[in-house]
Amino acid sequence: MTAPSPSNGPPWGFFERLRPDRIEAIRATRPVAYVPWGALEWHSYHAPIGLDGLMAHGLASALARVCGGVVLPPVYAGADTIKPFKGFRHTLEHAPETIERLCGEYLAQLDDEGFRVLVVVSGHSADGHLAALRAAVDAFTARAGPRALLVAAFDPVCDAYPPDHAAHGETSLQLLFTPELVDLGRIPDGPPPTLDADGVWGADPRTASAEDGAAILDLFVHRTHRLLQPLFDRYLP
C-alpha cells in the first residue's frame, strides 16, 4: 500500500508496505530512501521506550510527504544510551561498532537497490551514537559520492527548539505522532523532573503539547528540505 501523496506532490510510501511495482514506480522519479533510527531506551515514566524510533519515523514520513521517496521501518539500535550514563533500566545498549556497521550495511543495500539519495534520521542524539552513524555516512560518501545525509532530530531546529531527552520537545512530538502512547499523569507531582531522578533532560514535559509538536515538525521539514535540495538537484532524475 502506498501512503497518500499531497495533491500534485511527489510519490512516496512506506517501504515495507509497498509491492515491488510500487517501489519501482516511486524510485523511477524520486529515488530517495529515509532510514529512521532510534534506541530502545528509558524516556521517563510518561513516554514509550521506543520514543526515539517513533519520533524519527514521524519526522522521516513528514519529509517524504514533501520530498518523495520511501520510508524504511525504524531501526532500533542505540549506543551511548541513558543506561550506562545514569543506570535506567528498560534500555538496550549496543556498541558503537555495531551501529556503524549496521548503518553502513543499510546504506550499501539501499544504494544497490537504486536509491540515489539516502537520509538517515536519528531520533537518538547522544554524541557517541551520532558519531557512529556519521562514520558510516562518511565512509559511504567517500566511496559513492555525497549522496547520504545524517540528520539528528533537533539539529535543524536547535536555535528554536533545543534538543532534550523525554522533555518538552520530544514529548510534544510524541503527542503529535502517537498521543495514545503518552501519559503525562505518570510524572510524579512536584518540581520539574530531573535527569538523575526521572531520566528527563530539558524543559518540563508537563508543558508539552501536540500543537508544539506540529510547530517543531513544520520547522524541521522546512529546514531539512532546504538541506536536501542540493542533493536532489544533483542526483535525482
Q: Report pLDDT for 8.
A: 74
- Domain coordinates of the chain in residue numbers? 31-231
What averages of pLDDT result for each successive group of 10 residues across the chain (237 residues)? 57 98 98 98 98 98 98 98 94 98 98 98 97 98 97 98 98 98 96 97 98 98 98 96
Q: Give pTM, 2 decimals.
A: 0.96
What are the counts of helices (DSSP H) followed by strands (DSSP E) for the chain? 8, 6
For residue 168, the number of C-alpha atoms closer than 13 Å in the C-beta half-sphere is 12
User: Per the structure block, which three cell numbers stand in for 45?
Assistant: 515514566
Q: Report pLDDT for 7.
A: 53
Q: Report pLDDT for 217.
A: 98
> What number does CATH give the domain 31-231?
3.40.50.10310
Q: What is the per-residue DSSP string for 225-237?
A: HHHHHHHHHHH--
